[in-house]
Amino acid sequence: MKTTDKPVIFSGIQPSGELTLGNYIGALKNWVNLQEEYTCLFSLVDLHAITVRQNSKEFHKQCYDALAVYLAVGLDPEKNNIFLQSHVPAHSQLAWILNCYAYVGELNRMTQFKDKSGKNKDNINVGLFTYPVLMAADILLYQTKLVPVGADQKQHVEIARDIAIRFNNIYGDIFTVPEVYHPPLGARIMSLQEPTKKMSKSDDDAGATIFLLDSPDVIVKKLKRAVTDSEAEVVYDQKNKPGVSNLLTIMAAVSDRSVDDIVSEMQGQGYGKFKTAVADSLVEFLQPMQERYKKLRDDQAYLDSVLKTCAERVVKLGETTLKTVYITEER
């Protein structure tokens, strides 16, 4: 696929609930930083989200909520392709073909499948199992060079690479082999309550997760309750002080400062003051974004027009690779 001379980025987030600070630091922030240098496709991966049961009315609303967040954090829909995965049938079409080149053994090794099937014992559906193949289709459809994601998605990008290489070995140079991109800081933002566990949308303890639309009061409360350790020194030490290190990472990421700089500022201040400083920097970053969000979210016609215009562009982009794959398969 020739889009422009710029290399292609593909990434996506499941619109299956309110987006979190982990989604921002691990993914969205980097998308914003990379959007000038690449041809970017940023999807709301609704087909992935239905591997877990969704309430359809609520889900429809959540897709628009997530779209408004994409725009509010600074993704420009004129420069980027921002779209719902289900609006581009080629994702599902390519996924089927790639299913025939993916092995049960390798899908069985996926940690996300093990986690999710452990949590959703009454609904271990086939979609959950073949989820990484749809993700491979998302990526390979556009000859993607770079996939900016948090650390938890590394394994999925690796399987996309494996499938691409396997297919290319049989049929020639059909797919670009993608590379994963992790942010230098914050590839894995941790739970505020259990800092050895990833911060997640679906944590049972709402206090464990900062949502991007949390009010300042809620943020202050969550920070006050955040688990640290029995010492009092603000030091970055992921192994021995995971809670404090996580808070340092969060503060550094949202204020665009270095961890060292924050550590020296917080010298001798104790955890109470440190937590207040983290909360302040979060509120300072989130408030203007939330104001932009509110305006965007109220403008349904604009949101619809973004989805429509981008989907029209993306459908065309996806056609080229799919046609090549179909012809290849016929040979």
Residues recognised as catalytic: 116, 198, 201
Q: What is the closest distance, in whole angstroms, from the C-beta atom of residue 172 to ligand TYM in the complex? A: 24
Interatomic CA distance for residues 189 and 246, integer angstroms: 7
Residues in contact with ligand TYM, counted by CB under 6 A, come to a total of 26
Residue whose CB is less far from ligand TYM, 59 or 302 = 59
Output Rg (C-alpha) for the chain, integer angstroms. Answer: 20
User: CB 200 → ligand TYM: shortest distance, Å?
Assistant: 6
Q: Which stretch binds ligand TYM (CB under 6 A): 95-103, 116-124, 132-140, 266-274?
A: 132-140
Give the strand pairing for 8-13 and 39-44.
parallel
* Among positions 45, 95, 180, 286, the unique one binding ligand TYM when judged by CB under 6 A: 45
Tokens 């396997």 belong to which residue? Answer: 166
* 222 in contact with ligand TYM (CB under 6 A): no
139 binds ligand TYM (CB under 6 A): yes
First to last CA, the chain: 20
150 near ligand TYM (CB under 6 A): yes
Stretch that binds ligand TYM, among 34-42, 134-142, 237-245, 262-270 (CB under 6 A): 134-142
Residues 223-235 as b or e (16 or more Cβ within 10 Å = b): beebbbeeeebbe
Residue 229 token pair: 């350790």
* Rounded (10°) angle between helices 300-330 and 90-99: 40
Mark the segment that binds ligand TYM (CB under 6 A) among 133-141, 272-280, 297-305, 306-314: 133-141
Tokens of 290: 């939330």
CA triplet 172, 47, 97: central angle to 5 degrees? 25
Q: Does residue 39 belong to the site contacting ligand TYM (CB under 6 A)?
A: no
Any contact of residue 152 with ligand TYM (CB under 6 A)?
yes
Q: How far is the CB of 255 from ligand TYM (least distance, A)?
A: 17
- Matching residue, tokens 């566990």: 197
Among 8, 17, 23, 116, binds ligand TYM (CB under 6 A): 23
Residues in CB range of 266: below 8 A, 6 or more apart: 234, 273, 274, 277
- Kindly write out the interface string for residues 156-185 of this chain, putting x where it contacts ligand TYM by CB under 6 A and - elsewhere: x-----------------------------
The percent helix, strand, coil of the chain (3-state, each to 5) is 60, 10, 35
**How wide is the angle at C-alpha 284 spanned by C-alphas 266 and 300, nearest 5°?**
155
The Cα-based distances of 180 to 82, 133, 153, 175, 325 in angstroms read: 20, 16, 9, 15, 23
The least CB distance from residue 270 to ligand TYM, in Å, is 26
Contact window for ligand TYM (CB under 6 A) among 58-66, 150-158, 221-229, 280-288: 150-158
**Interacting residue with ligand TYM among 8, 9, 26, 175 (CB under 6 A):** 26
Which CB atom, from 25 or from 32, has the smaller least distance to ligand TYM? 25
Closest residue to ligand TYM using C-beta atoms = 26
Give the tokens for residue 160: 């996309």
Binding positions for ligand TYM, rule: CB under 6 A? 10-14, 22-23, 25-27, 45, 48, 135, 138-139, 147, 149-150, 152-153, 156, 187-189, 198-199
